[in-house]
Amino acid sequence: MPPEPLRIRAATPADLAAVGRISHRTGLLGAPIGRFFPDEALWADVFVRPYLEAGCCNFVAEADGRVVAYVIGACDPGALPRWARTRLVRVLLGGLLRGRYPRFLRDLPYLWRSLRQHGERAPAGRYPAELHINALPEARGRGVGSALMARFLDCLRARGVPGVQLATTERNAAALALYERFGFRVYARWRSPFWKPYTGRALEHLRLVKELG
């Protein structure tokens, strides 16, 4: 029996749990991050919620009524810092008080490393937008990445955004092939020890950019 056709639709804050689950299941270079960051709800609140509440051009792909892939982004470099200044502390305190993060102490080492992680960025004036795209393993190979990327880039163009950037690693071969098909190019490379505790070695990070004019 052929797989259910994928349906692409705009994402909303109500998709937080579904998108957060996918992000958590793919957070370790495409594999689950739960061994090092056990609280899925905290992962979603830190790494997904800002985009769904303050970002732009967010889309999900559904199959059988279930979200199986997403693309989330921001149209300007100030959107997420503004959200963090006004919302992040309240979200995290609320989550802690409601017991949403029962293994919070085990999450802290990864969070601390993330806060200290610095990498090359392209000029925000030329490439103000950024994106993250992910799919569950069972949804890959069905063109979902291409469909989501096309919708995302069309949305940026409709908003008059001049360019977009993203970060990835040398290990992400499938994603690199997708980005190349859509005309992204390498802006910078740097070796980072960030992943060493989780993969056993430092990895080469890539900053990719695309002009939308």
Q: What is the pLDDT of residues 1-17, one digit of tens each?
A: 456 678 999 999 999 99
pLDDT 10s digits, 24-53: 999 999 999 999 999 999 999 999 999 999
- Mean per-residue pLDDT for 71-86? 96
| First-to-last C-alpha distance (Å) of the chain | 42
Element (H, E) at 147: helix 144-158
What are 30's two structure tokens? 């495409």
pLDDT at residue 124 tops 80: yes
- Mean per-residue pLDDT for 139-159? 94
Please give the pLDDT value at position 112: 95
At 138, the pLDDT band (50, 70, 90 cuts) reads: confident
What are 76's two structure tokens? 């300007």
What span, in angstroms and rounded, lies between the C-alpha atoms of 33 and 28?
5
Please give the pLDDT value at position 40: 98
Strand 163-169 relative to strand 203-211, pairing? antiparallel
For residue 209, the SS3 value is strand
Residue 106 class from Cβ within 10 Å (0-12 exposed, 13-18 middle, 19+ buried)?
middle
Ranges 54-68, 69-83, 137-151, 178-192: which has the least confidence: 137-151
More confident residue, 1 or 177: 177
Q: Smallest Cα–Cα separation from 71: which of 54, 61, 58? A: 58
Q: What percent of the chain has pLDDT over 90?
A: 89
pTM for this structure? 0.94
Distances in Å between the Cα of 183 and the Cα atoms of 91, 123, 156, 170, 173 are: 37, 18, 15, 17, 15
- Residue 40's CB is within 10 A of a number of other CB atoms, namely 21
